[in-house]
Each structure stands twice: as C-alpha cells, then as structure tokens.
Amino acid sequence: VPEHVWRINLDTPEEAQQNLSFGAADRWWEQTDLTKLILASNKLQSLSEDVQLLPALTMLDVHDNQLTSLPSALGQLENLQKLDVSHNQLRSLPEELLQLPRLRSLLVQHNELSQLPEGLGQLLSLEELDVSNNQLTAIPTSFALLVNLVRLNLACNQLKELPADLSAMKSLRQLDCTKNYLETVPPTLATMASLEQLYLRKNKLRSLPEFPSCKLLKELHAGENQIEILNAENLKQLSSLCVLELRDNKIKAVPEEITVLQKLERLDLANNDISRLPYTLGNLPQLKFLALEGNPLRTIRRDLLQKGTQELLKYLRSKIQDDGPGPSEEPPVTAMTLPSQSKVNIHAITTLKLLEYSDKQAAEIPEAVFDAVGTNPVGTVNFSKNQLREIPPRLVELKDSVCDVSLAFNKISCVSSELCLLHKLTHLDLRNNVLTALPEEMEALKRLHTINLAFNRFKVFPSVLYHLPALETILLSNNQVGSIDPVQLKGMDKLGTLDLQNNDLLQVPPELGNCENLRSLLLEGNPFRTPRAAVLAKGTAAVLEYLRSRIPT
C-alpha cells in the first residue's frame, strides 16, 4: 500500500501547494478524516501497522489478497464498524481485534483458520459474523455473549458439534452450518426465538431436530444428510415455515401432520425413499413448488411427476375425495414380485430392444424378466430405482447385444465381474448407489464412452477409468474424491466432459490445464481455493487457460 495512503489524514494534498486560493472553508482535507478504505482484490501479503494513522475508519475491506496475518494496530481503530478480510490466507486473528467496540460486521470466510480467538464474544456490537470455508473444529464458548448477532455463517468447516450456549444469541435470525460433520443439533437451539433461516445441509444428521420455540422459523434446509424419519411432533412446532428442503436423505414416509405447515411454499423431498404420500398434502394452500423426483413412489405415475407442482396437487386433492379420510391401502411389497405382477413389457423387448424393470423397489430382478427376453437382442436395460444390492448375474446373457445399462438409484456396493463381460457397453449409469470402488476388470469395456457415477461414495478417482480409451463423459459429482491425476487424464484423448462437482478436491493440479480436449470441466462445490469462483464462472476454456498459466516452468 503506498505510504501516502496511510498518511492521507496528516499530509496536505499536493494540489493545495499549487493553488493558493483555497479559503478556510474549502480546505476539505483539514475538515474530514478518511472513513472508508477498500484495498480488495490486490496482491497484498501484509498490512502495515501504519493503519493506526487512520483512526476515523469505519470500514476496512482487504478481501481477496494474500494476507497471512493482520497487524495488531487494527485494535486501535475504535470507530471500525465493518472489517472484511475474507479470501486471504489467514491462519489466526490477532487478539487486538477483540478491542473494537463498534465492530458490527466481521467477514473472515475462505481463510485457513483452525481456531478463533477465545474472547471473540467481547465484540458485543457484532451483528454479522462469517467464518465459513475455514478449518474450524470448535466454536469458542464466549460466542454466547454475542447477543446482537443477527447472521452467523459457520458453513464448510470441520465442526462435529455446536455449543449449547449458541442458544443465548437472542437476536440471531440466520444460522448457516452447511457442510460440517454435525450428527446432532443441541436441543437448546430450539429456544432461539428469533431464528428465521437455518441451514444444516451436507452434515451427518440422522433425524430432524425439534424446534419448540422457533415460532418465526421460515426456512429449514437439511438436504444431503442421513435423516430417515420425519417426526410428526417436530413438524407441529414449525407453524411459520415457508421452505422445507430435505432432498437426498433416507426419508421413508411423510406424516399426515405435514398439513399443519399451512404457510409452506416450497417442499423439496427429491431423492429419498418415500413410497407413498399423504393425499392431504394437496390441501396446503400456499404450496408453489413440490419436488419428488428420485423417490420410489408407487401411487403416483412418473409422467404425473413431470407435469409440475400444480397438476400434482390437483391429483392429490382428487384422491382425497375418492378416498375418504385416509390414504388407500396398497398391496405389501415383497422382495420377489411374482411374474404375474412383474408385467414384463414384451412389446418393448421386441420393437424397442428395451428390457425395463424400474421403479419397483425390488430386491432382485425376477427370473421371469430375463426369461421373457428369449432370443430377442436387447440393446437397452433399465433396472433403476429398485433395492438391488448387487448387479443381476443374468445380465451376462445379454452380452452380445446390450450397449446401454442403467442401474441408477439402487443400493449396489460393488461392481461384479459379470458387468465387465458386456463388451458392447457404451453407456453405463450407476448414479445414486453406494459404490466406493470399481474393479480393474472393467478395462475390458473398450467401447464405453459414458459413465455416470454421481452420488456414490468414491473417496478416490477410480483408476480403471484412466484405462478406458473410448470414454467421452465421466460424471462423478457428489462423491468424496480428494485428488485426480492430470497426467493420466491427458492420455484420455476422447474425454470431453468431466464433472467433479461437490467432491473433496483440496487442490486442482495446474497440469489439468493440458487436457485441451475437455469441453466441459465442472469443479464447483469443492473445498479448493484456486481457481476462484470468478474464474470457474468464466467456463471451461478460461479455467484450463488459468491452470496452464500456473504450471511451474
């Protein structure tokens, strides 16, 4: 920072020397001190202690620099109300920061903080605190003293629990705990009477917390957890709720009591295990958006789901009239569906070369389904949305003709050798299973050009993919992949699309920029620092060019 910036309150500006006609009233530099200083998006590696020469500052913005520490002199800026040090490389915050009596907004997101100063609760005027995207494992107990805090963002850290004292924050309206390791939420959180928005997405919650006092809660986001049960009691307390987002959980049933949420406008239940809905859902007066895709719903036809919320609600209301008080009884689902029920579509096999047995919640594919094929060549197999735990062994019988297989939305934990014998396979859809690895035998699938492995449990990039020369598209979003090998990827001449969104990539190797065949590279939602979001937003070509510029020469 140029020296004269720090001295701007002390030194007479040059134009005053040159022009002697300034009257006393015109000498603005003597009448007002600098109150706002914005040094954002530069390459500053340190800030001078001379910042204390600007005691009138109310706002200091140094976000998006390369700062690894802050000067202790910040503690002397007693008029400071807003401090933005986000998107730097800070490992700690100076204790002197706690001496700022008027500080209302403190933004430290996207740094390298593993802990916060124990006395942070001394910042009694604080209304907004953002510590997201750091490496915090705990929250200081003094947080309880921040009684004026309105917005608190703890997202994308490594928190395993929240302190019960958080409930003392009587003014808190927005709390964001997205993407941590929370297994429970302290019951005291339920007493936060001012809370309006609560984000708990991407944690490890097994049940929805109870909120007896949160009468103002308008938005509850708890998608991508492991919630299995929606407790009717919990719902009854959320009378003001407008948005309830529970997608990508393991919810099996929606209780009738959901109708107490009379103000609900958005309900997202996509990708759960819901097999039936209470028809009374159709009576929610404000509901404008209802997402149900990716559920094994047996009472609602797929085409109806695609017609949108209003048609769906109309259908549910019509069923209430048909049905009297309760939802209709359905035949119990058994692990083996009898051939008479299996309704194998022979017409599809002979004319469309399609073998379909999807959305049946079957634990295995009935023999009758394979028997129906006879000598007909089958090109496409769709066994998605069942409860399969393994790849059906009889798939091998179709190896001379099948080229497109979908086993999406099942519970498959490993790929068996049978699949590796389908030598004509070009498309393979295994998304939304519980896979952690792929066998090396898959090298035999020389014609495979598209593979979808999204929403599984891969922690490493499956190495066999590097050896499939025909691959054009790899979809691996929403896993836990931590690294990729850019040298091996460069050898994949045909690869045009690589989707690695929402994984655990801590860095993007610059050599990935050499993969010039990539037309679509998707990296959003990973914890790496560079490339920054602004670069990602410019598209694949710009990202590759940026990465190439970072390759050490």
| CATH topology agreement for domains 186-318 and 346-549 | yes
pLDDT at 164: 85
Q: Find the helix or strand (DSSP H, E) in which 535 lies.
A: helix 533-536
- Taking the model in full, what pTM does it have? 0.58
Looking at 3.40.50.300, 3.80.10.10, 3.40.50.10860, 1.10.150.120, the CATH number of the domain 346-549 comes to 3.80.10.10
Distance, CA of 383 to CA of 393 (rounded, Å): 13
**Which string of DSSP letters, residue by residue, matches 246-269?**
--SS------GGGGG-TT--EEE-
pLDDT at 349: 86
Distance, CA of 374 to CA of 394 (rounded, Å): 13
C-alpha 242: how far from its chain's center?
21
pLDDT at 200: 96
pLDDT at 301: 78
pLDDT at 336: 39
Burial class (CB within 10 angstroms; exposed 0-12, middle 13-18, buried 19+) of 303: exposed
Kindly report the CATH number that applies to the domain delimited by 186-318. Answer: 3.80.10.10
> Mean pLDDT of residues grouped by 10 in the chain (553 residues)?
89 64 59 90 96 96 97 96 97 95 97 95 96 96 92 97 87 96 86 90 89 84 93 81 95 89 94 89 91 85 81 86 44 38 71 88 92 90 94 93 94 91 94 94 94 95 94 94 93 93 92 92 90 88 93 86
Task: Name the CATH superfamily housing domain 1-10+32-181.
Answer: Ribonuclease Inhibitor (3.80.10.10)
Secondary structure in 3-state letters for 79-90: CCCEEECCCCCC
Q: What are phi and psi of 497, to 5 degrees?
A: -130, 125
Q: Are 418 and 441 within 8 A, CB to CB?
A: no
pLDDT at 238: 85
What is the residue extent of each domain of the chain?
Answer: 1-10+32-181, 186-318, 346-549
pLDDT at 341: 38
Q: What are phi and psi of 72, to 5 degrees?
A: -65, -20
